[in-house]
Amino acid sequence: MADENENAIDPRREMVRIQSNILSAAINPFGAELSHLEHLGEDEASRELMTDADPAFWRGRAPLLFPIVGALSGGVLRHDGRDYPMDKHGFARHSLFDIVETGDAHAVFALSDNEETRAIYPFAFRLEVAYRLDGATLSIGVTVTNPGDAPLPASFGFHPAFAWPLPGAGEKDTHRITFSADEPGALKAIAGDGTIAAAEVPSPLQGGRVLHLNDDLFAHDALVWNPVHSQSVTYGAEVGPKLEIAFPDTPMLGIWTKPGARFVCVEPWHGIADPEGYAGEYRDKPGVFVVEPGGAKHIGMSVTLTD
């Protein structure tokens, strides 16, 4: 589920690069956004596992969604009866993060509230994002800390776009996403303004677990599981490399692409777009978590390359 006005990765920023014996990754401090994830071949050139970011479709790569996920009704965040303008998916993806720490196989970035953020999100916060490579696994750990003296309501979502098809895994129409648990019931529909409609759509899963990917699935925006019962999915074709994507801390999952594009987004969320017509307080909307003063919320995901 993307913003049509998604900014490209800022080319002026020097990437932070990390590497294991199997994978390499590049992260842009602008948005602390994963830009590249490559499989290091022994006898051949590395293979890119992320989107090609074709501007004809979508220029994003793996934006971090904070402090909201999706769209707000009327494009405003309501707090204590006051409305604050807030773009879809929040402002973290358009913010320059501090580089806190780097090593051969890890990097840590942080974003804190400032005068500009408080004008649209009136809360004290620190958002820290840690990337780590260990063999064939990339782990991403997010910590939302409340340094203020009032409760901090927030949402957070991952939005990584993986190559579709994966290199060495056949054509697009051979790819599927397999859930680790049964996912019964219908899916939430997306309204025209990007909020969550009251209507539901039939589940496209075969046997309750397998999503055979094709462009027609995404003719009306993202597929949204709320709640999602699985804590991981496996993406790939029957033959060739696969990605196991684990998300033990997020109760919702979106899967999205633009028809014709060569990527698919697997999006673990702790938060979701407003219900259509929602007019309540931000802290009371579905999916929002609240961090008490001095407290912290930890959310993680990982991507593991398998054969």
Taking only the tens place, the pLDDT of each residue in 69-105 is: 999 999 999 999 999 999 999 999 999 999 999 999 9
1/155: higher pLDDT: 155
Mean of pLDDT values over 167-179: 97
- Decide if pLDDT at 2 tops 90: no
- Decide if pLDDT at 5 tops 80: no
The confidence score (pLDDT) of residue 39 equals: 97
Q: With cut-offs at 50, 70 and 90, classify the pLDDT of residue 3.
A: low
Q: Which H or E element spans position 117?
A: helix 115-118
For residue 297, how far is the Cα from the chain centroid? Answer: 17
Taking only the tens place, the pLDDT of each residue in 108-164 is: 999 999 999 999 999 999 999 999 999 999 999 999 999 999 999 999 999 999 999
- Decide if pLDDT at 297 tops 60: yes
Instruction: Spell out the residues 6+ positions from residue 148 whose beta carbon is closer than 8 angstroms to its own.
Output: 123, 124, 125, 293
- Decide if pLDDT at 12 tops 60: no
Cβ atoms of 220 and 189 within 8 Å: the answer is: yes
Taking only the tens place, the pLDDT of each residue in 194-245 is: 999 999 999 999 999 999 999 999 998 999 999 999 999 999 999 999 999 9
Of 212, 203, 219, nearest to 259 by C-alpha is 219
Sign of CA dihedral 165, 237, 158, 111: negative
Q: With cut-offs at 50, 70 and 90, classify the pLDDT of residue 7.
A: very low
Pick 16-306's CATH classification: 2.70.98.10, 1.20.120.1200, 3.30.930.10, 3.10.20.30: 2.70.98.10
The confidence score (pLDDT) of residue 4 equals: 46
Cβ atoms of 40 and 46 within 8 Å: the answer is: yes
Mean of all residue pLDDT scores within the chain: 95
Taking only the tens place, the pLDDT of each residue in 66-78 is: 999 999 999 999 9
Of 103, 131, 127, nearest to 28 by C-alpha is 131
Taking only the tens place, the pLDDT of each residue in 28-48 is: 999 999 999 999 987 667 999
pTM above 0.75, yes or no: yes
Count CB atoms within 10 A of the CB of residue 103. Answer: 9
Cβ atoms of 272 and 134 within 8 Å: the answer is: no
Of 306, 307, 302, nearest to 25 by C-alpha is 302
Instruction: Spell out the residues 6+ positions from residue 72 whose beta carbon is closer than 8 angstroms to its own.
Output: 86, 88, 195, 273, 274, 278, 282
The confidence score (pLDDT) of residue 1 equals: 63
Taking only the tens place, the pLDDT of each residue in 179-188 is: 999 999 999 8
* Strand ranges (E), 16-121: 16-19, 23-28, 33-39, 47-48, 64-65, 76-79, 82-85, 98-102, 106-112
The confidence score (pLDDT) of residue 267 equals: 99
Of 246, 239, 204, 249, nearest to 225 by C-alpha is 204
